[in-house]
Amino acid sequence: MAKADSLLAGDLSDLRGALDRRDCSAVELVQASLDAMDARADLAAIVFRRDEAALTEAEAADERIASGKPASPLDGLPVVLKDNIVQAGEPATCASRILEGYVSPFDSGVVERLQRAGAIVVGRANLDEFAMGSSTENSIHGPSRNPWDPERACGGSSGGSAAAVAAGLVPLAFGSDTGGSIRQPASFCGVVGFKPTYGRVSRWGLVAYASSLDQIGPFARRVADCALALEAVGGHDDRDSTSLPEVVPPLRSRLDGDVSGLVVGLPKEYFAPEGAQPGVLARVREAIGVLEGEGVRFVEISLPHTAYTIATYYIIATAEASSNLARFDGVRYGRRAEHPKDLLDLYERSRSEGFGAEVKRRILLGTYVLSAGYYDAYYVKAQKVRTLIRRDFEAAFGECDAILTPTTPETAFALGAKAGDPLSMYLSDVYTVSANLAGLPALSVPCGFVDGMPVGLQLLGKPLDEATILRIGDAFERRTDHHRQSPPGPPGSPGTD
Amino acid sequence: MQDHTDLSWEWVIGLEVHTHLKTESKLFSPAPVVYGAEPNHAVHPIDLALPGVLPVLNERVVELAIRLGLAIHGTVNPVSVFARKNYFYPDLPKGYQISQFEDPIVSDGWLEIEPEVRGQAKKKAAAGGGGRRRIGITRAHIEEDAGKSIHDVAIAGREDSCIDLNRAGVPLLEIVSEPDMRTAAEASAYLRALRSILRYIGVSDADMEKGQFRCDANVSVRPRGSRELGTRTEIKNLNSFVHVEEAIEAEARRQIELIEDGGTVVQATMGFDPVRRRTSVQRLKENSDDYRYFPDPDLIPLRIEADRIEAVRASLPELPDEKRSRFGSEYGLSDYDAGVLTANRELAAFFEETAKACGSPKAAANWLTRDLLRELRERDVELEETSLTPAILASLIRLVEDGRLTARSAAELFPDLVSDGGDPEVLMRERGLEAVSDAGAIDGLVDQVVEAHPDVVQQIREGDDKPLNFLMGKVMQASRGKAVPAQVRKTLIARIRS
């Protein structure tokens, strides 16, 4: 067990090797993961567990491994899912009161592919309600905590997934990224977070926040593990009309550490001194130095419409959300107000009682921007700006193979620090939302610490070119040891390092 | 039906038709399209709008929409866009309906109508070549149907309202006409023509009783000669041709009376009470509904390549209008007969087979438009439900044409052939209905009749031919209808003149 316990904090290839050499069993790994969840209940990272089912599945994985026929490199490995990615027979609260008690009758595309690969879903991770937020504080399950400092936020909205990987509960977790909801918490928690190209991973079974921006992606401790995860869950799905037809190319085999000759753009708008904490900019500049040493050539580029990205995002995302969340009406499933006096009362009270403040705020915003008389001025205008933002990137990628920026302007903020100030919360996504608006693949890789809190650098790639940013991220890892740092253990336990 | 008020007022009518498309599965889900299934049994998680589901367009629907677009001479747009129409209602699970708004799949079509004219006007219209009119079709777009809310305690079995989502997501085409119709009869003729096309091209069964073909009518009136449109009202959910006509009549009259009494028409949704034949305001439209339409981000724009349209065009059957004019030129049928025969694709095919088999298109047309349609009407059955086949009818016609069976005997056999089929020749023999053309037999009958009516014979001999038919009838009667009439006439004349 001790073996499995320590392995959990390692990367997927270590775990694979241990399983294949029979140093430990899948059952032991899953049990270690479940035990770690117990030990780190203080983080509130995991909101539902599958102890029994996971152990049963682990036994089956052990049989496959014993017979020398593992289903895939993920066979027998424990993973967690953000609680907005549905699995048959499991709850999917999306951290909302309105979905309390709901159990999904079907599997998401991601769950199907993970199960086919032999991966074992051990639990479901906390999030901001319906993935709306940047701190995992807007949750009926309470705020998740940052493993590096429990008084700080773990970021969001996929904060539970990020914290689970950072704290060594699982080696791999899945979240969803609509405006930075994978990359920002990855950066805050010191793990790798990866949002593939829009349409790469099926949205079938992802509870929609903003359909044209949502994308599922992995968290892991190594870039190579994120590459493996996309190989496992990516690719076309007939049930998602926005799913891309292209086959996911082999990704891990391209991670050879050689990045010489690659040209990486540095958008000047993202490096403005007033935009980010000096410490964050310093860590990112150090990372640039490391990559320069590997032969990467950096060029300054411009993304002229950067100033409009947050406004554009909050119009499009809230417009789509206002419609996507209309189905939560108390009629067919989820929370229904008691003793409604008529239909309107049923709707009003079910939704008033069921949704939290941030969700209501976004539904109202979205309803407003779609309303007659405002539609052209807001929604249509935002779509036009979205096109301009996409063109900024097309032009930039004429000059470079990838773009590097800080992932977030600052390190993890204190819990509650922004709770009363939605605008400042929205601005923490300033570097990440453009990738969603343009549909680009984006990766956040740990690049050091400021005052003991992790910093992430973000790599943006051309559409469908996940390979290049994974290669750069992997090469950076090979020359640095930021990803090997572990947060302190649970309160009251002897320090791990 | 329209009276003196028509002299000063013109009615302006536009129709919106919702027709269910003939598909195995729903518009965006794999659930089957079935009628009469147990409530909420023809549903998929997509229809229930469970968290995490996504719509996937049924390509068969696109095919059918293209067919309709071509059949109404419309433009099939290379790019059309699905949009969300947002509103809350318990039978609308997603809280929005997926429809097409700014960019429909079909625009700018038309069809020709021939309003059914009655009494005096009928002869006039027939003499003038009919009152055919072209009615513009603004657009046709794809959308999904909602479920059903059942508020009836007797059906629901309890005080609460119940929801049946079997219909939720069933594919519809909404077909919107221009305000080109001027009478209720034109409106009903438009609906019949549209329904006939939909059935011809296999797009919809358009069965009104099953709710597969529903109509909303927009009605306004204006002083005759005015080019401005009056304020219109919309009469919702008219579910029979009769109701459409009655509702339009009632609503136009209500508006005219209102204006003539010094009032003004306000924009409103009207309901129609078929028992009292009256329309009444259901909902005022002063606060125009805000459906917050926007393109559905779960669906990519629908792109249709030109060669796909051409492939559909090549697969289209001959349309009623084309068939009608061909029946005129190829078989020499009257416009009326051609119109009746082509109103229904099965009947048209039956006619063509019969005509080819018997070599006498006019006789085939007569049998079908008169005798067969009367039988169908009387029995309230469809052509397919009878035992009559083109071969049987052709054989019957040939017996008559060859003089082996009189028209009267043929008419006697016909109802049995419709019911039970069979070989007309065999049946004729079994019943002893073979025509009497044997000269000796006819001579004998003629002799009997001439001897029995010497005064009539005398009258004819004095130059008055009128009573000849009386004697003809007597001879035919004596032959029990089996004597060949031409031969009887010839023999009679020869005998009287001799």
* Domains and their CATH numbers in chain B: 4-307 (no CATH), 318-430 (no CATH), 439-497 (1.10.10.410)
Name all domains of chain A by residue range, CATH numbers in brackets.
Answer: 2-266+399-484 (3.90.1300.10)
Question: Searching chain B, which residue's CA lies closest to the CA of residue A346?
Answer: B90
Instruction: Calculate the alpha carbon distances from A252 to A18, A227, A373, B182 in Å.
Output: 19, 6, 51, 71
Helix or strand or coil: residue B292? Answer: coil
Average pLDDT over residues B352-368: 94
**Chain A residues touching residue B50 (CB < 8 angstroms):** 104-106, 333
pLDDT category of residue A275 using cuts at 50, 70 and 90:
confident
Q: Which amino acid is at B111?
A: L
- pLDDT, position A1: 46
Under 8 Å between Cβ of B47 and B165: yes
Spatial neighbors of A414 by CB under 8 A, at least 6 apart, are A151, A152, A153
What dihedral angle (degrees, nearest 10) is formed by the CA atoms of A270, A276, A281, A282? 160
Indicate if the pLDDT at residue A422 is higher than 70.
Answer: yes
- pLDDT, position A496: 43
- pLDDT, position A8: 83
Q: State whether B297 and A205 contact (CB < 8 Å).
A: no
Indicate if the pLDDT at residue B152 is higher than 80.
Answer: no
Q: What is the mean pLDDT of chain A?
A: 95
- Rounded-to-integer distance, Cα A4 and Cα A25, Å: 8
Average pLDDT over residues A419-426: 84
Which candidate from B51, B292, B299 shows the least CB-CB separation from A241? B299
Q: State whether B52 and A206 contact (CB < 8 Å).
A: yes
- The tokens for B480 are 């029990």
pLDDT digits (tens, 9 = 90+) for B391-414: 999 999 999 988 888 888 899 999
Asked if A238 reaches chain B (Cβ–Cβ under 8 Å), the answer is yes
Asked if A329 reaches chain B (Cβ–Cβ under 8 Å), the answer is yes
**Chain B residues touching residue A359 (CB < 8 angstroms):** none
pLDDT digits (tens, 9 = 90+) for B53-92: 999 999 999 999 999 999 999 999 999 999 999 999 999 9
- The tokens for B340 are 């009746």
Spatial neighbors of B372 by CB under 8 A, at least 6 apart, are B383, B388, B393, B418
H or E element at residue A78: strand A78-82
Burial of B236 from C-beta contacts in 10 A (0-12 / 13-18 / 19+)? middle
Helix segments in B280-389, DSSP class H: 306-315, 320-331, 335-342, 345-358, 361-366, 373-379
Q: State whether A242 and B300 contact (CB < 8 Å).
A: yes
Burial of A236 from C-beta contacts in 10 A (0-12 / 13-18 / 19+)? middle
Measured CA angle at A316 (ends A441, A400), to 5 deg: 30
pLDDT digits (tens, 9 = 90+) for A145-170: 999 999 999 999 999 999 999 999 99
Q: State whether A329 and B84 contact (CB < 8 Å).
A: no
- pLDDT, position B209: 86
CA diameter of chain A: 70
- pLDDT, position B122: 46
Q: Is the bond into A241 cis (omega within 30 degrees of 0)?
A: no
User: Comparing A144-153, A471-480, B273-282, which segment has the lowest mean pLDDT?
Assistant: B273-282
Average pLDDT over residues A131-142: 97
Average pLDDT over residues A374-402: 97
Helix or strand or coil: residue B173? Answer: strand
Under 8 Å between Cβ of B94 and B131: no
Indicate if the pLDDT at residue B4 is higher than 50.
Answer: no
- Buried b or exposed e, range A78-95, using 16+ CB within 10 angstroms: bbbbbbbbbbeebbbbbb
- pLDDT, position A5: 74
- pLDDT, position B127: 41
Average pLDDT over residues A264-272: 95
- pLDDT, position B287: 58
Which candidate from B88, B290, B297 shows the least CB-CB separation from A371? B290
Helix or strand or coil: residue A376? Answer: helix
Instruction: Tell me which range, A286-290, B426-430, B459-463, is most confidently predicted by mean pLDDT.
Output: A286-290
pLDDT digits (tens, 9 = 90+) for A183-224: 999 999 999 999 999 999 999 999 999 999 999 999 999 999
- Rounded-to-integer distance, Cα A139 and Cα A131, Å: 10
Kindly state the percentage of chain B with pLDDT values over 90. Answer: 66
| Separation in Å, CA of B233 to nearest CA in chain A | 22
Indicate if the pLDDT at residue B468 is higher than 90.
Answer: no
Burial of A187 from C-beta contacts in 10 A (0-12 / 13-18 / 19+)? buried
Q: State whether A327 and B95 contact (CB < 8 Å).
A: yes
pLDDT category of residue A50 using cuts at 50, 70 and 90:
very high
Kindly state the percentage of chain A with pLDDT values over 70. Answer: 99
- Rounded to the nearest 10 degrees, the angle between the axes of helix A223-233 and helix A109-117 is 110
Q: What is the mean pLDDT of chain B?
A: 90
Average pLDDT over residues A215-242: 98
- Rounded-to-integer distance, Cα B77 and Cα A374, Å: 28
Instruction: Calculate the alpha carbon distances from B410 to A131, B395, B407 in Å.
Output: 80, 11, 5
Q: State whether A204 and B163 contact (CB < 8 Å).
A: no
- Buried b or exposed e, range A286-316, using 16+ CB within 10 angstroms: ebbeebeebebebeebebebbebbbebbbbb
Q: State whether B54 and A320 contact (CB < 8 Å).
A: no
Chains A, B: CB pairs < 8 Å? 98
Question: Searching chain B, which residue's CA lies closest to the CA of residue A324?
Answer: B94
Instruction: Calculate the alpha carbon distances from A277 to A119, A305, A451, B126 in Å.
Output: 39, 22, 12, 88
| Separation in Å, CA of B36 to nearest CA in chain A | 22
Which position has the higher pLDDT, B446 or A119? A119
pLDDT digits (tens, 9 = 90+) for A458-473: 999 999 999 999 999 9
**Chain A residues touching residue B45 (CB < 8 angstroms):** 105-106
Average pLDDT over residues A384-401: 98
| Separation in Å, CA of B92 to nearest CA in chain A | 9
Which candidate from B56, B84, B96 shows the least CB-CB separation from A241? B56
If interface means Cβ-Cβ distance under 8 Å, which residues of chain B face chain A? 45, 48-57, 84, 86, 88, 90, 93-96, 163, 288, 290, 292-294, 297-300
| ipTM passes above 0.90 | yes
| Separation in Å, CA of B55 to nearest CA in chain A | 7
Indicate if the pLDDT at residue A263 is higher than 90.
Answer: yes
| Separation in Å, CA of B41 to nearest CA in chain A | 15
Instruction: Tell me which range, A461-465, B260-264, B287-291, B412-416, is most confidently predicted by mean pLDDT.
Output: A461-465
- Rounded-to-integer distance, Cα A443 and Cα A472, Å: 10
**Chain A residues touching residue B292 (CB < 8 angstroms):** 322-323, 367, 370-372, 375
pLDDT category of residue B472 using cuts at 50, 70 and 90:
confident
Which candidate from B45, B90, B290 shows the least CB-CB separation from A331? B90
Burial of A398 from C-beta contacts in 10 A (0-12 / 13-18 / 19+)? exposed
Considering the entire predicted model, what is its pTM?
0.89
CA atoms within 13 A on the CB side of B362: 5
Indicate if the pLDDT at residue B118 is higher than 60.
Answer: no
| Separation in Å, CA of B106 to nearest CA in chain A | 22
| Separation in Å, CA of A177 to nearest CA in chain B | 15
- Rounded-to-integer distance, Cα B266 and Cα A296, Å: 71
Asked if A368 reaches chain B (Cβ–Cβ under 8 Å), the answer is no
- pLDDT, position B151: 81
Dihedral sign, CA of B88, B90, B92, B93?
Answer: positive
For strands A453-461 and A402-406, give the pairing: antiparallel
Q: Which of A324, A341, A345 to mutate to test the interface with B (most CBs of B within 10 A)?
A: A324
**Chain A residues touching residue B57 (CB < 8 angstroms):** 241
Under 8 Å between Cβ of A470 and A196: no
User: Comparing A347-361, B50-64, B140-154, B361-375, which segment has the lowest mean pLDDT?
Assistant: B140-154
- pLDDT, position A493: 67
Closest CA to A99 of B149, B52, B161: B52
Under 8 Å between Cβ of B70 and B312: yes
Spatial neighbors of A349 by CB under 8 A, at least 6 apart, are A330, A337, A340
Indicate if the pLDDT at residue B145 is higher than 60.
Answer: yes
Q: State whether A211 and B297 contact (CB < 8 Å).
A: yes
Average pLDDT over residues A258-273: 95
Asked if A131 reaches chain B (Cβ–Cβ under 8 Å), the answer is no
Under 8 Å between Cβ of B82 and B62: no
- pLDDT, position A495: 47
Helix or strand or coil: residue A361? Answer: helix
Question: Searching chain B, which residue's CA lies closest to the CA of residue A341?
Answer: B160
Average pLDDT over residues A368-379: 96
Q: State whether A375 and B50 contact (CB < 8 Å).
A: no
**Chain A residues touching residue B84 (CB < 8 angstroms):** 323
Q: Give catalytic residues of A, as residue numbers.
A: 82, 157, 181
pLDDT digits (tens, 9 = 90+) for B195-243: 999 999 999 999 988 889 999 999 999 999 999 999 999 999 888 899 9
Q: State whether B54 and A239 contact (CB < 8 Å).
A: yes
Question: Searching chain A, which residue's CA lies closest to the CA of residue B287?
Answer: A372
pLDDT category of residue B497 using cuts at 50, 70 and 90:
confident
